[in-house]
Structure 1
Amino acid sequence: MSDLFFLQDSRSNVGSRAMFWRNGGGYTSNLNEAEQFTRERAVKQYESRQTDLPLPVGYTRAQSETGVDCQYLTRSEAEAYRNTDGRFYVAYTRDWDGNDLVWLGGSGPTANLEGAIHPGGEDALSYQSQGFELWPCGYINARSRPVVRASLLDHKQALRAAGLRLPKVKVERTRTYRNLTNCEGCGRFLTELQRFDDCPNCGARNAP
């Protein structure tokens, strides 16, 4: 039974990537930066904000893949990097999954670095001549991080396996009225039914 949980922000994703409560505040797609909550803290956070959904750490990491955020890459650093094995990852130009680079994989585009091809020498240069970008493997590996596609997360199944039942939180509902009119005497709002009686505030008649 899992006792550590991530909190997924269920309101939005970045590309296909799920977002999680970050250690220190805010949200992140990087599981290495996501805060881990005890069972009690996870439930308490859910009670105060129902958009933060608990997910067991083990379950979430089992669904993870490897992504590379383009915001943390610079071409000058990559070109100065000593690529000891002479191999490169091949990236599509101006194509992203959220902020993550999209790579040429064995069967087509993929944002999962684990499925990306990494040729070396003349083979790598041939892809560059076709308009792809080349990034040194060592440089990219050092800047990769575990991420999760939101579509792979099944909250009900994960929480059932962890033996966690989330409490039902009462949502306050505000009453809304349609076809409101103003009292001709005092200006207060009246419902469709009230307008056929004397105004409960000033006694004025409002019937058509």
Structure 2
Amino acid sequence: MDDLFYLQDSRSHAYVGDGLSFWGFGGSGYVTDLSKAQVFTRDGACDHRDTDIPWPNSYVDARARVGVDCQNVTMSEALDQHPDAGEFYIQKPQCWSDNNLIRLCEDGVFTSDLSKAVVVPRAHTVTWIGKLGQSGAVVWPWPYIDTHSRHLVEPGDVNIRGALRGMGIELVKPRKLRKTCKRPLNCHGCGRFISWDGRFLNDCQNCGANNCP
């Protein structure tokens, strides 16, 4: 039985690109890079906020993909650092999977998973670019891109029910926020119904009375 877990922040703003966000080392915030994610024991993972979800780390690691955030790479830097690179990745221009670059695979399709992308020798880059037709391509030095890659997991690659099946862990259901009921108001000048919020914006359109408290 797996007793080591990552802890995901499931709030809507916690997603970075397509990657799930997990607690980072030592309370350093949330990260998508699994190499920087805190690993918890079962007790530590189950003692969490309602919006945090424990994932068995072996389950997540087995379904991780390798991504490269377009915000962390520049072509000028890549060429400066690797002017004599012998191998390259081929990127589909002006296309991203959220923040992740899209790469060409051996079979001619494209993927955001760098582990499935084709590595092309320098002598063959023109041939591979030609296969893309008029769309063209962006060619990145292989060692530069590998240095800037990270392991992450996307929502479509994992299922929390399957991950926790048979482990005796029940997810905490987030508490629903109670909606405040705003009772209808009557204009103190003419008695017509007015909206609760509208009274702060305009005087009564029927009699001109100011209904602010």
The answer to whether TM tops 0.5 is: yes
Matches within 5 A, 1:160-175: 160-167=165-172, 171=176, 173-174=178-179
Aligned to 1:41: 44
Classify the secondary structure of the residue corresponding to 1:32: helix
Classify the secondary structure of the residue corresponding to 2:7: strand
- Per the TM alignment, residue 86 of structure 1 is displaced from its structure 2 partner at its CA by 1.1
Aligned to 2:119: 118
CA RMSD across the alignment: 2.9
Cα distance in structure 1, aligned partners of 2:174 and 2:9: 17
Q: Residue 69 of structure 2 aligns to which amino acid in structure 1?
A: D
Classify the secondary structure of the residue corresponding to 2:164: helix
Cα–Cα, structure 1 residues 18 and 174, in superposed 2: closer, same or farther, change >3 Å?
same
Cα–Cα, structure 1 residues 92 and 39, in superposed 2: closer, same or farther, change >3 Å?
same
Q: Runs of 5+ in structure 1 lacking a partner? A: 185-208
1:138 aligns with 2:143: yes
Query: More displaced, 92-101 or 81-90?
Result: 81-90
Aligned to 2:184: 180
Cα distance in structure 2, aligned partners of 1:155 and 1:123: 43
Q: Residue 32 of structure 1 aligns to which amino acid in structure 2?
A: S
Deviations 1:54-86 (A, max 9, x none): 111111111101111122212233113347771
Cα distance in structure 2, aligned partners of 1:140 and 1:79: 11
Contact in 2 for aligned 1:56/1:162 (Cα 8 Å): no
- Per the TM alignment, residue 93 of structure 1 is displaced from its structure 2 partner at its CA by 1.4
Aligned to 2:196: none
Cα distance in structure 2, aligned partners of 1:168 and 1:119: 48
Q: Residue 122 of structure 2 aligns to which amino acid in structure 1?
A: G
Cα–Cα, structure 1 residues 8 and 113, in superposed 2: closer, same or farther, change >3 Å?
same
Q: Residue 37 of structure 1 aligns to which amino acid in structure 2?
A: F
2:35 to 4, 26, 32: 32
Identity of aligned residues (%): 37
Equivalenced residues, count: 183
Q: Residue 23 of structure 2 aligns to which amino acid in structure 1?
A: W
Name the TM-score, length of structure 1 as normaliser: 0.74
Contact in 2 for aligned 1:71/1:99 (Cα 8 Å): yes
Q: Residue 149 of structure 1 aligns to which amino acid in structure 2?
A: E
Query: More displaced, 11-20 or 91-100?
Result: 11-20
Aligned to 1:201: none
Q: Residue 20 of structure 1 aligns to which amino acid in structure 2?
A: F
Name the TM-score, length of structure 2 as normaliser: 0.73
- Per the TM alignment, residue 167 of structure 1 is displaced from its structure 2 partner at its CA by 4.5
